[in-house]
Chains A and B, each alone.
Chain A
Amino acid sequence: MRLRTAILAAGIAAIALPAFAQEKVQIQWWHAMGGELGAKLEEIATAFNATQNEYTVVPVYKGSYPETLTAAIAAFRAGEQPAIVQVFEVGTGTMMAAKGAVYPVYKLMADQGEAFDPAGFLGPVVGYYSDTEGNILSMPFNSSTPIMYYNKNAFEKAGLDPEVAPRTWAEVEEFSKKITESGAAKCGFTTGWVSWVQLENLSAIHDRPYGTLENGFGGLGTEFTFAGDVQVKHWENLKRWADEGIFQYGGPVGGNDAPPKFYSGECAIYMNSSASRAGVVNNAKDFEVGFAPLPFYDDVTAEPKNSIIGGATLWVLNGRKDEEYKGAAKFFTYLSQPEVQADWHQFTGYLPITNAAYDLGTSQGYYEKTPGSDVAIKQITRGTPSANSKGIRFGNLAQVRDVIDSEFEALLSGQKSARDALESAVRRGNEILREFEASNG
């Protein structure tokens, strides 16, 4: 009899024990970081998992940014959503409008009793992801801003001072001409993300509105206004420069053809996200790279405003179990630690999200040792942000950017003038906004 009980007890224990052992709550984290960024991200998750034994954050790579967003939405509709999903800044308007689907981060942190101080984060980053009352809706993770990279060797070959980057667009033109005429490079400059760099940031830097109602922060009834004089003039210039051969187009969306043009030495100047820095440094084998803020038109403004951000944040989705949210909140606290932030920022070229992470980098002497690493942060924090430079917020922005790309291509191929292209983009963009307003109103 005794033996039997013992066996029974052992049996129960055998069944129950593994259950105890794997009592850790799993938290799904869908992300869009491939390659080296993905490896670094998994490192962060592993490090967090090692700090405690209640929760396991499971990072799952879901492809590109649009693919990740689509996957999360499809999963939400099927009731299989992850607790945390990384959404790019373009999807912000869509996520903010989906009130029933999103668990706002400020609320999550308050509900779970985790300390969370918005004031500790960089102003431009917080502003971009807060609602009208100033509550942070998603957890800033990887934010970037476009900067200018240039080939110092090509500058030298063209008889330019390699330590002096073009400051204004007039100088970009002048330098590019010298570079192409001297044969130092085949083309002057190229750019990634035409919509983000050559339109959204252009508007912010020159303090021109991108849309009505404070660039869309004021509500869904917003309309685009980016066909203004500065933008038209800039696009006219880009077209002229493309015809003269000093500017080369790198393709739609992110502009996949742009980085190889710079890496191979074909183009001497390259404008793209500050997060491209790791890639640029790795790939620019035959020349030295210089870093500088984006150029501006000095006949339009003497004091360029701050640039605006890109990158992604982490959104928490509704409909998971409470203990998962507890873990998610703990994970976010871990992510905000200066050491974690500074490490991620210094490895990737993304902005330090918190002031503490920036201070830590300064005290480590990182910015002195690594030239160009603070160009992005200085550019995004310069001056006082105006309503035009604090960011943009529009629904279906990914679609609008596609429209902008296609109008830009129509401009380059000579089908449309700069004004026609931009006005047509505004008109088509507004249709998309009305559609978004109707389905979310």
Chain B
Amino acid sequence: MQTKRTIFPEKGLPYLLVAPQLIVTAVFFLWPAAQAIWTSFRREDPFGLNTTFVGLANYRRLFTNGEWLHSLSLTAVFAVSVTLLSMLTALALALAANRVLRGSRVYTTLLVWPYAVAPVVAGVLWWFLFNPTIGILSYLLSGLGIAWNHRVNGNHAMILVVLAASWKQVSYNFLFFLAALQSVPKSLVEAAAIDGAGPFRRMRDIVLPLISPTTFFLLIVNINYAMFDTFPIIDATTSGGPAGATNILVYKVYADGFLGLNLGSSSAQSVVLMLIVIALTFLQFRYVERKVQY
């Protein structure tokens, strides 16, 4: 097998070509990340007038603090729910859209729309639908005997943010699943059908394995989405409440750092968050990828 390699005769040019990307990464990622790590070892007042090096005290406090551990478990519940809900819904919709003979482009376009909605708007939209006083959904729920109130009930609030976050992500997953399904060779599916495999069997043994690279990719993207990009949804709807029931890690970093002005602890939390994501991605590539058939 031949590998294609481009050899630059001059040493400077390749570096020059990747420089824009490297500079952007350094300025917007490496430098702030380094600052976060540095700040996480210190304790300082908001104005930065008194600073003391405290070693690992900020971290120690996190791991002995029930509130942070609670937030950690909430984040796990939230990320898993959002990922499962948005991926399963998207897969179901993609399967349906893939079978439609006429007008599939119309369906596709309609299903992709929510992706164009800003997270804040998505959050506020669902918040309105479920508003205990004026929301249409809470009105319908009260007809079923459910007194919906996400201001007081933590489970209701969690359901609300999971719905809003998933709804927005379904479109993205849908697009990828649809493309993957369309690339499944018809001949394989037909051959299996001739051999007497029912729809469920064909799905399990042919389609799912063939789209597993996409599924794997979406899994990573969705978990990262749920852990980081859902900040605006939380901020616009529940602000982490009630009673901290939707205070996921990324929101807590913001609340402690920018509202509470406790920079040391907030930095320590963001460093831990960064480590969690690095670990997750590593695990996924290392172990999950092995089972994925390309």
A positions within 8 Å CB-CB of B: 66, 70, 73, 76-77, 94, 97-101, 249, 251-253, 257, 260-261, 266, 396, 398-399, 402, 405-407, 409-410, 412-413, 415, 428, 432, 435, 438-440
Q: Which of B21-29, B38-46, B286-294 contacts A (4 or more CB under 8 A)?
A: B38-46
Least CB distance, B259 to chain A, in whole angstroms? 5
| Chain B residues whose CB sits within 8 angstroms of the CB of A415 once the complex forms | 243
Main secondary structure of the interface of B (DSSP, over half): loop
Pairwise interchain contact B49-A70, C-beta atoms closer than 8 A: no
Contact of A76 among B47, B50, B255 (CB under 8 A): B47
Residues of B in contact with A (beta carbons under 8 Å apart): 43-50, 52, 67, 133, 151-154, 239, 241-244, 255-256, 258-262, 264-265
Separation in Å of the B237 CB from the closest CB of chain A? 11
Would you give the shortest CB distance from B60 to chain A, in whole angstroms? 13
**What residues on B are CB-neighbors of A98 within 8 Å?**
45-47, 49
Q: Distance (Å) between the CB of B144 and the closest chain A CB?
A: 20
The residues of B that contact A100 with a CB separation of less than 8 Å are: 47, 49
CA distance A407 to B52 in the complex (A): 32
Which residues on the B side are within 8 Å of A252 (C-beta)?
239, 241-242
Question: In the complex where A260-B133, A409-B242, A428-B67 touch, is A398 in contact with B47 (Cβ < 8 A)?
Answer: no
Alpha-carbon gap, A77 to B261, bound state (A): 13
Please, how many angstroms separate the alpha-carbon atoms of A261 and B242 in the complex?
Answer: 19
Q: Are A249 and B259 touching (Cβ within 8 A)? A: no
Q: Are B241 and A77 in contact (CB under 8 A)?
A: no
By beta carbon, the residue of chain A nearest B65 is A431
Q: Which residues of A contact B243 (CB under 8 A)?
A: 406-407, 409-410, 413, 415
Q: Which of B46, B153, B242 contacts A73 (CB 8 A)?
A: B46
Judge whether B152 and A70 touch: CB under 8 Å. no
The reply to whether A406 and B47 contact each other, CB–CB distance below 8 Å, is no
A266 neighbours in B (Cβ, 8 Å):
133
Contacts of A412 in B (CB 8 A): 152, 242
Docked-complex contact B259 and A402, CB < 8 angstroms: yes
- What is the CB-to-nearest-CB distance from A257 to chain B, in angstroms, rounded to a whole number? 7
Residues of chain B within 8 A (CB-CB) of A398 are 259-260
Q: Which 7 residue pairs are nearest across A and B when measured between Cβ atoms?
A: A409-B242, A409-B243, A399-B260, A410-B243, A101-B47, A406-B243, A100-B49
Instruction: Please judge, given known A-B contacts A398-B260, A409-B243, A439-B43, whether A101 and B49 are in contact too, CB under 8 Å.
Output: yes
* Contacts A73-B261, A251-B151, A439-B52 known; 16 new A-B pairs at CB < 8 A: A73-B46, A94-B46, A94-B261, A99-B49, A101-B49, A257-B151, A261-B133, A396-B260, A398-B259, A399-B256, A409-B243, A410-B242, A412-B242, A413-B152, A438-B43, A439-B45
Q: Check A77 against B47 for contact (C-beta < 8 Å).
A: yes
Given contacts A98-B49, A412-B152, A70 and B258 within 8 Å (CB-CB): yes
CA–CA, A407 and B261, complex, Å: 21
Query: Could you tell me if A66 and B259 are in contact, using CB atoms closer than 8 angstroms?
Result: yes
- Contact indicator B261/A402 (Cβ below 8 Å): no
Give the chain B neighbours of A439 by CB distance below 8 A. 43-45, 50, 52, 262, 264
Residues of A within 8 A of B242 (CB): 252, 406, 409-410, 412-413
- Chain B residues near A66: list those with CB within 8 A: 258-259
Question: What are 10 A-B contacts defined by CB distance under 8 Å?
Answer: A73-B46, A76-B48, A94-B46, A402-B259, A405-B241, A406-B243, A409-B154, A410-B242, A413-B243, A435-B265
Q: Give the CA-CA distance A160 to B40 in the complex, in Å.
A: 60
Separation of A251 and B132 alpha carbons in the complex (Å)? 11
- Chain A residues contacting B241 (CB-CB under 8 Å) are 252, 405-406, 409
Q: Is the CB of A402 within 8 A of B255?
A: yes
Q: Check if A399 sits within 8 Å of B151, measured CB to CB.
A: no
Residue of B nearest to A264 (CB): B133
B154, closest chain A residue (CB)? A413
Question: How far, in Å, is B132 (CB) from chain A's closest CB?
Answer: 8
Min C-beta distance of A77 to chain B, whole Å: 5
**A70 and B261 contact, Cβ closer than 8 Å, known pairs A406-B242, A409-B242, A413-B243:** yes
Q: Are A399 and B152 in contact (CB under 8 A)?
A: no
Using Cβ atoms and an 8 Å threshold, which residues of chain A touch B44? 439
- Determine the distance from Cα of A257 to Cα of B261 in the docked complex, in whole angstroms: 27
User: Which residues does chain B contribute within 8 Å of A249, judged by CB atoms?
Assistant: 151-152
* Separation of A402 and B247 alpha carbons in the complex (Å): 12
Complex Cα spacing A415 to B243, Å: 10
The listed residue with most B CB atoms (<10 A of its CB), out of A266, A409, A432, is A409
CB contacts (< 8 Å) of B153 on chain A: these are 413
Contact A399 B48 (CB under 8 A): no
CB distance from A101 to the nearest CB of B (A): 4
Query: Does B133 lie within 8 Å of A257, measured CB to CB?
Result: yes
Cβ-closest chain B residue relative to A428: B67
